[in-house]
Each structure stands twice: as structure tokens, then as C-alpha cells.
Amino acid sequence: MKLEKLAPAFQDYLWGGTKLRDVYGKRCDFDKVAESWELSTHPAGESALAGGERDGLPLGQYFQQFPQALGKNAAAFENFPVLIKLIDAKEPLSIQVHPSDEYALRVEGEYGKTEMWVIVDCDPGAFLYFGVNRPVSKEEFRQRIENNTVLEVLNKVEVHPGDVFFIQSGTIHAIGAGILICEIQQNSNCTYRVYDYDRRGADGKPRPLHIDKALDVCTLEPSDTASHLGPVLSCAGGTAQKLGECAYFSTQKLRVEEALTLEAGEESFLSLVCVEGGGLLCGPENTLEFTAGESLLVPAGTGKVSLRGDCTVIQTTVPGQA
């Protein structure tokens, strides 16, 4: 099967900036381009094939027409398991938490959300919130939300380009201002907003909070914020480093210096998001040129492909189930 380039869906959340358009050349008419959903079959924002004979075909329809392109691992899930975004946070996101699968399926009728952040770029001194900085009771946490002191008990972490954070469901978190992120996550849009700086939505009203549900699912003990990155492995034409893995996705950072050989077996497709540089992706049937900010799809069963150029690429696959 042919290699495919993807066109994202966009979101114009109020905290977004313009870097996805200004730096990555995303074609979007929104004043604020908060997120581009690069690999998505989610109804809130589905990506599509770009260029070639299937130009404009929604990704979900593509996989319906060519189920072999998914691979055996993704096909084992009831729904497409992964969603990949680029996020430009000009302003801080709300303090929030995502539920587990068990809670989300029971209460919301959709899956929960575990996610991973790769810091692509950030302003000096930029930070995020990741869990709490000490054990907190639910009663104290509720009181602090009500009296606007909740930030005092959150774990504040300064970030740098290349940092990676794995956010388990139940972890209180928020992306801070001035951060550009590649987010690899479970295919869900289920979020409980805890605190939002008293911001107003487009309708002029405070954005809704979901405090009771958040308290049902949040972990109010300090989280494991240590890096669990794999070693940087040298290979012909570049390096590869495992960034993280869960039941829904397995992600590596590829640094291409000349040409790097990848392989898409029958188990999983390859999602490739270029975050720096550019080059060529060469497969058995076609070759695609790409630059920073673009996403490519290598269908399962394609076999060996070659990444050529000078670039940094985030590769995601769907792992097999134990």
C-alpha cells in the first residue's frame, strides 16, 4: 500500500496561540490554533488523507476501506486506540484530570485517557503542573478549588525541549503557558476541568468545572515524575530512543542524520510526526516529501521504508497485548 500524508483537524481553544500556523505552516483560518489533531478518528476532530488519489478521505473511512492498514494490534481494539496532537499553549490550560477506562465507560460512555507529552519547544522558564506536591485530602482539595489556592498544592515542573512526561489517568495536570507539545494519547476527549483561573468562554460566562467527577477519579498523592526514557540507540543513519509505552501506544523519537530504515509489519501501522527538519519518506510504492509539522502514515504490512534527510520524527505504533 502507498504511504500517506495526513491533514489534521484543528481546535481553537481560548488558550491557544499561532505557532502551529506561523512555525509549522498549518493552513487554518482560526485566530488561535490551539491544537492540530494529526492522527485522529475521533468525531470531535478527525484527520484526513492529504494529496494523492485519496485526498480528503477521512482517516476512519480509510481504515474501514483498508482494514489491513491498521495492523493486527489496533484491530484488536473495539475503537481506534490512539490520538496524536500538536498543542500550542500560549496561555496556561485549565487544571484538569482524565478518568480511567472503567470510570469513563460507566459514567460517560467513552474510554478514559492516558497521555504522554513530548516538549517540542518552550519559552525560557515555562512550566507545567504534574500531580500534587504532597498528599492532599479530597476535602482540602475541594476547599482550595473554592478559595482559589489549589495551585499551592500542585507539583510545578519547569520544562525544556526534549522533556517527556507520561500522564496516567487520574493525575491532576496542566500544560503551562509558552509550551509547544506533541501529545500522544488514548483516543478519548474525556476531561474533567478542576480550576480555570476564572476565565470566560466565548459566551462571556465562566467555563464549566467538573469538580465532583474530578474528585471521584483524581489521585491526590504525589505522582511518579521521574523520566523513564530508554537509552539513545545508534543505528545506521541516525538514532532511536523509546519515549514511553502503554496498552494503547508505543512511541520513539527518531533522529535522522542521513537515512534511517524502518519497518511496518503486519502488527501495526507507523505514525510519523516530524517536529524538526524535513526530508523524504521512501516506500515500495511511492515517496513523500515532508517538513516540520507534517504527519505521515505507513500502513501496516508495508515492509521496509526509508526516512531520509536531516530531521527529528516522533514515531508511534500500537503495541501487542500481553
Q: Which residues are catalytic?
A: 193
Name residue, grid cell 504525589.
222
CB neighbours of 59 closer than 8 A, spacing ≥ 6? 6, 39, 40, 41, 46, 47, 48, 49
The CA-CA-CA angle for residues 96, 202, 7, to 5°, reads 75
10 Å CB burial of residue 197 (0-12, 13-18, 19+) is middle
Q: Between β-strands 250-256 and 287-291, what pairing exists: parallel, antiparallel or unpaired?
A: unpaired
- For residue 56, the Cα-to-chain-centroid distance in whole angstroms is 22
- If one counts every other C-beta atom within 10 angstroms of the C-beta of residue 222, the result is 14
Residues in contact with 191: Cβ distance below 8 Å, sequence separation at least 6, in sequence order: 96, 97, 98, 113
Which DSSP state fits 313? E
Distance in angstroms (rounded) separating the CA atoms of residues 130 and 221: 11
- State how far the Cα of 13 lies from the Cα of 94, in Å rounded to an integer: 11
Q: How far is it, in rounded angstroms, from Cα 284 to Cα 282?
A: 7
- For cell 503557558, name the residue: 177
Whether the Cβ atoms of residue 244 and residue 164 lie closer than 8 Å to each other: yes
